[in-house]
Amino acid sequence: MSSVVENYQSVNRSLQTAIIDAARMPGSVELVAVSKTHDAERIAPLIDAGHRIFGENRVQEAASKWTALKAETDNIVLHLIGPLQSNKADQAVSLFDVIETVDREKIARALAKEQIKQDRKLRYYIQVNTGLEPQKAGVLPSETVSFVDLCKNQLQLDIEGLMCIPPIDENAGPHFALLRQLAEVCCLERLSMGMSSDYETAIGFGATSVRVGSAIFGKRDTDN
Ligand SMILES: *Cc1c(COP(=O)(O)O)cnc(C)c1O
């Protein structure tokens, strides 16, 4: 068996244990396998093993790998988890099924326009900069409620939930707790939070979606 599939099964077991430990419903957390930097040959065994939900952080890279993979496999659900430029909104809307990184009005408007143009409906998350990091993408916690309102009610985007990437040098727990609290205020049910190092913690804080890359595919040579 491929090492990727073995890693995947082991992550899946830890995920199920974390769900039980948190006294949550079986099946209440989806696993987004983050395949960025890995090529189609490395991804294929996981698709063969039945996995369908994948995450990529660059539109161009994702298009080069997933256009073919999606054409030959039913029910692939592709998440964009990296920053999006509005000039790539057309490509993003045609390729992805879920965009997790909506964080400013310009991009929200571009996505709304493209959806109509392409007659496609995607699902979306609002990225929140819970650590107030100047270099990081995401809306500020204080702006989240009004931004969600704009996206949902004015632009008719199907906003499912909130997403965050906590600061690397901090305990992630308080960031997960803040994201959950903001989602409750916004009446949103889904939370995309937790990566290889902290997905079990995130499940304890209510994550409905965890984004796991290196624990499945191994260490990346280049982290982009
Ligand atoms: C790369 C990436 C991940 C996965 O990170 P790992 O530590 O490899 O699990 C999750 N979320 C985002 C936004 C990423 O860019």
Mutate to test the pocket of ligand 1, among 31, 53, 81 (most ligand atoms within 8 A of CB): 81
CA of 161 relative to ligand 1 center, distance in Å: 18
Residue nearest to atom 12 of ligand 1 (CA): 81
- For ligand 1, residues with CB inside 6 Å are 34, 36, 57, 81-82, 165, 195-197, 211-215
Dump pLDDT digits (tens) for 65-75.
999 999 999 99
The pair of structure tokens assigned to 89 is: 């909104």
Mutate to test the pocket of ligand 1, among 100, 179, 211 (most ligand atoms within 8 A of CB): 211
Dump pLDDT digits (tens) for 152-170.
999 999 999 999 999 999 9
In sequence order, what are the residues at sequence separation of 6 or more whose Cβ sits closer than 8 angstroms to the Cβ of residue 96? 62, 78, 79, 80, 122
Dump pLDDT digits (tens) for 79-121.
999 999 999 999 999 999 999 999 999 999 999 999 999 999 9
Residue closest to 165 by CA, chosen among 144, 190, 138, 186: 138
Which atom of ligand 1 approaches the CA of 81 most closely? 13
Q: Is residue 221 predicted with pLDDT exceeding 90?
A: no
pLDDT at 116: 98
Q: Is residue 223 predicted with pLDDT exceeding 70?
A: no
pLDDT at 222: 65
CA of 108 relative to ligand 1 center, distance in Å: 23
CA of 35 relative to ligand 1 center, distance in Å: 9
CA of 209 relative to ligand 1 center, distance in Å: 12
Q: Which residue has the higher pLDDT, 187 or 224?
A: 187
Mean pLDDT of the chain: 97
Is the pTM higher than 0.85? The answer reads: yes
Which residue in this structure is represented by tokens 């920053």?
83
Specify the pairing of strand 158-163 against strand 209-212.
Answer: unpaired
Amino acid at 27: G
Lowest mean pLDDT among 2-6, 122-126, 210-214: 2-6
CA of 112 relative to ligand 1 center, distance in Å: 26
Which atom of ligand 1 approaches the CA of 196 most closely? 9
CA of 40 relative to ligand 1 center, distance in Å: 18
Q: Are 50 and 9 in contact (CB under 8 A)?
A: no
